[in-house]
């Protein structure tokens, strides 16, 4: 059975039989396995940082020398996730001529905040050294958006990793938690110890000098409420910074990310188009 027919058939089955949207059920690894491998090359499992972590680099076949680079940080509640599950993100962005880097980071319960943010900073440092000449955009979904936002807003992380000031051109957050205190769930209290909890909030570090931000969310997100996005954007603009917000009607927490899975044959919000337009605008394309 051709791949598209297989995907369409399984997607329809899940919706009809379960009554639940595909994005809530579809294993990311399957989506990535079915995503196109045409038009880009993959260099996998490159070591970076001090903790034995790995990252993957996806290079467009016709990449310009100054093509934008997107460092995408995956979500998973700071406790789950693996870089190999996100080929579909890279496929969507390399098709627009972007160089894409997808790193792993250490997860709870093995580590707590701020270790995973420091891991993200080391990934940015590796990319800045080894893939120089490309405007750097930080991006992430959910917990990954939180990490990307802290790297964009709290300059101490990138400075400690040896990243030069001004190296980041912009940040893209999909359904991110940016202003989520007080914590009510015990699992998140374990991720963010009380002694460092106040420093975990990206909104606390807004000063108006941060690189521009594109903040995407859905008005049906009950996992990370859209208020996280609107409050952060309001704080940025109030201090003279730049934050663009897109709130997609009827889209839930996974919907912003799954909209980048071009292999899934159902109508999706224009997340890819909005990201491409933002990156091109900031990069001066």
Chain segment 105-119, per-residue pLDDT in tens = 999 999 999 999 999
Q: Which two tokens stand for residue 134?
A: 């490309």
Per-residue H/E/C for 8-62:
HHHHHHHHHHHCCCHHHCCCHHHHHHHCCCCCEEEEEEEEECCCCEEEEEEEECC
pLDDT at 23: 39
* Tokens at 162, concatenated: 């040896």
* Domain chopping of the chain, boundaries: 35-283
Q: Which of 130, 12, 150 is nearest to 69 (CA)?
A: 130
Q: What pLDDT band is residue 260 in, cutting at 50, 70 and 90?
A: very high
**pLDDT tens for residues 4-21?**
444 544 444 333 333 333
Mean pLDDT of all residues in 176-195: 97
Question: Can you spell out the DSSP letters for 136-172?
Answer: EEEEEETHHHHHHHHHHH-THHHHHTTPPTT-EEEEE
Return the closest-CA partner of residue 254 out of 13, 19, 20.
20
19-33, 121-135, 220-234: least confidently modelled range? 19-33
Does the predicted TM-score (pTM) go above 0.85? yes
Q: What is the pLDDT of residues 145-174, one digit of tens each?
A: 999 999 999 999 999 999 999 999 999 999
Cα(153)–Cα(6) distance, rounded to whole angstroms?
43
> Exposure string (b/e) for 104-138, b if CB count within 10 Å is 16 or more?
bbbbbeebbbbbbbbbbbbbbbbbbeebeebbbbb
Superfamily name and number for 35-283: Alpha/Beta hydrolase fold, catalytic domain (3.40.50.1820)
Position 266 scores a pLDDT of 84
Q: Is 133 left (phi over 0), alpha (psi -120 to 50) or beta?
A: left
Among candidate residues 276, 176, 181, 189, the one with its CA nearest the CA of residue 226: 176
pLDDT band at 2 (very low <50, low <70, confident <90, very high): low
Q: Which residue has the higher pLDDT, 256 or 24?
A: 256
pLDDT digits (tens, 9 = 90+) for 20-64: 334 344 578 889 888 989 999 999 999 999 999 999 999 999 899
Q: Tell me the C-alpha distance between 236 and 213, whole Å.
A: 9
pLDDT band for 285, please (50, 70, 90 cuts).
confident
Distance CA 121, CA 71 (A): 11
């Amino acid at each position: 059975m051709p791949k598209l027919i297989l995907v369409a058939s399984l997607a329809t089955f899940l919706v009809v039989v379960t009554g639940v949207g595909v994005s809530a059920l579809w294993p990311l690894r399957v989506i990535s396995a079915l995503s196109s491998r045409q038009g880009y090359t993959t260099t996998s499992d490159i070591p970076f940082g001090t903790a034995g972590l790995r990252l993957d680099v996806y290079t467009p076949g016709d990449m310009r020398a100054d093509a934008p680079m997107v460092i995408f940080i995956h979500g998973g509640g700071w406790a789950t996730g693996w870089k190999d599950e996100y080929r579909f993100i890279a496929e969507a962005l390399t098709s627009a001529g972007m160089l894409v880097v997808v790193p792993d980071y250490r997860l709870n319960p093995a580590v707590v905040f701020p270790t995973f943010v420091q891991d993200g900073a080391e990934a940015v440092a590796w990319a800045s050294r080894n893939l120089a000449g490309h405007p750097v955009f930080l991006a992430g979904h959910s917990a990954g958006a939180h990490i990307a936002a802290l790297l964009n807003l709290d300059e101490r992380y990138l400075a400690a990793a040896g990243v030069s000031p001004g190296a980041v051109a912009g940040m893209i957050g999909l359904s991110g938690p940016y202003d989520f205190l007080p914590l009510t769930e015990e699992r998140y209290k374990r991720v963010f110890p009380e002694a460092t909890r106040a420093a975990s909030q990206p909104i606390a570090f807004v000063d108006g000098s941060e690189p521009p931000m594109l903040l995407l969310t859905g008005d049906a997100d009950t996992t990370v409420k859209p208020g996280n996005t609107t409050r952060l954007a309001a704080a940025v603009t109030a201090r003279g910074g730049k934050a663009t917000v897109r709130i997609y009607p009827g889209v839930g927490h996974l919907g912003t990310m799954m909209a980048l899975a071009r292999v899934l044959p159902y109508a999706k919000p224009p997340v890819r188009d909005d990201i491409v337009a933002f990156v091109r605008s900031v990069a001066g394309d």
